[in-house]
Amino acid sequence: MTTTILINGQPSDGRIPVTDSSVVRGDAVFEVAMAYGGVPFRLDDHLDRLEASARKLGVGLPRRSLLVEWMTRAAEEIGDGAVRLVATRGSSIPGEPGEPLVIVFGHELARPDGPCRLFPVTAPWHAAGVEWDLSGAKITSYAPNMASTRRAQAEGFDDALLVTVDGLVLEGPTFSVAWVIDGVLETPGLELGILESVTRRVVLELAAAEGIPFVEVEAPLERMLSADEAMAWSTVREVQAVSHVGDHGYETGPVTKTLQEAFAALVGNHDSRGGVDPA
């Protein structure tokens, strides 16, 4: 099921101009929020990041109240599922008029079952901590990341684990990663140029609330391979156990289980735009 598609707030059949920047150049910003019971989760956090991405890319956005209205409408219509927003620059053809577009819709989502198996892929396209104009922006130009997923799947894995040319762990193509060593949760730091994931932020809040020590690191792949547990975090995956990175296997251990339970409890009782709810 897909909800009504809204383009600049108006119901649409989903057609957009072939000259639009998102089609011709992949030049647009986007967000994906989960809807639980018809309410978008952490909507303010997602819109904060959208606005920051749009500023870096130079894409204009309507006022926030309209974005909230449109995403809330899609969330209410889908109930439980993903709500997507794409904001484009308009026409990419010089001299051709074309207004910027904000596309919003929701769709059902089949969550990945069980632990996932990740295949390490070197990511020379990743900034890996080198500051540049679009550092931290969530933009639609995801072709290299999607290619890494296909590479991993061709090797018989579920998805990729991106590492730098020097072998430092970064993130997945569409998710953050973490692991546990001697009861301490470790996750790559934002200074590596990974996306500041909303789910990552939520899980670290939950870890603090549960008394789980955590640290942000710059770590080689060998460090992750020495861990007792490993996880993938994202809007879609929530807190998903990782069973393998390459040939190395992990158990779904107590830290993973605690965070999975805490996240499930949170999304069952969340405020649509708030933080971690009091017990």
94: confidence class by pLDDT, cuts 50, 70, 90: confident
Q: Hunting for tokens 């070197």 — which residue is that?
A: 122
In the chain, residues under CATH classification 3.20.10.10 are 116-268
Among 73-77, 229-233, 274-278, the range scoring the smallest mean pLDDT is 274-278
Query: Helices 198-209 & 254-268, crossing angle to 10 degrees?
Result: 110
DSSP line for 177-235: EEEEETTEEEEE-GGG-----HHHHHHHHHHHHTT--EEEE--BHHHHHT-SEEEEEET
Q: In the prediction, which pLDDT does 276 show?
A: 35
Per this entry, what is the length of the chain?
279
Bridge partners of 30, per DSSP, are: 86
Residues of the chain above pLDDT 90, percent: 90
Q: In the prediction, which pLDDT does 95 show?
A: 82
- CATH class of the domain at 5-107: alpha beta
275: confidence class by pLDDT, cuts 50, 70, 90: very low
210: confidence class by pLDDT, cuts 50, 70, 90: very high
Q: What is the pLDDT of residues 211-254, one digit of tens each?
A: 999 999 999 999 999 999 999 999 999 999 999 999 999 999 99
Q: What is the pLDDT of residues 5-45, one digit of tens each?
A: 999 999 999 999 999 999 999 999 999 999 999 999 999 99
279: confidence class by pLDDT, cuts 50, 70, 90: very low
d(CA 207, CA 39): 24
Q: In the prediction, which pLDDT does 272 show?
A: 40
Q: In the prediction, which pLDDT does 238 show?
A: 96
Global pTM value: 0.93
278: confidence class by pLDDT, cuts 50, 70, 90: very low
Neighbour count for residue 136 (Cβ, 10 Å): 16
CATH number of the domain at 116-268, out of 3.40.50.150, 1.10.30.50, 3.20.10.10, 3.40.50.300?
A: 3.20.10.10
Is the pLDDT at 87 greater than 80, yes or no?
A: yes
CA-only gyration radius of the chain, Å: 19
In the chain, residues under CATH classification 3.30.470.10 are 5-107
271: confidence class by pLDDT, cuts 50, 70, 90: low
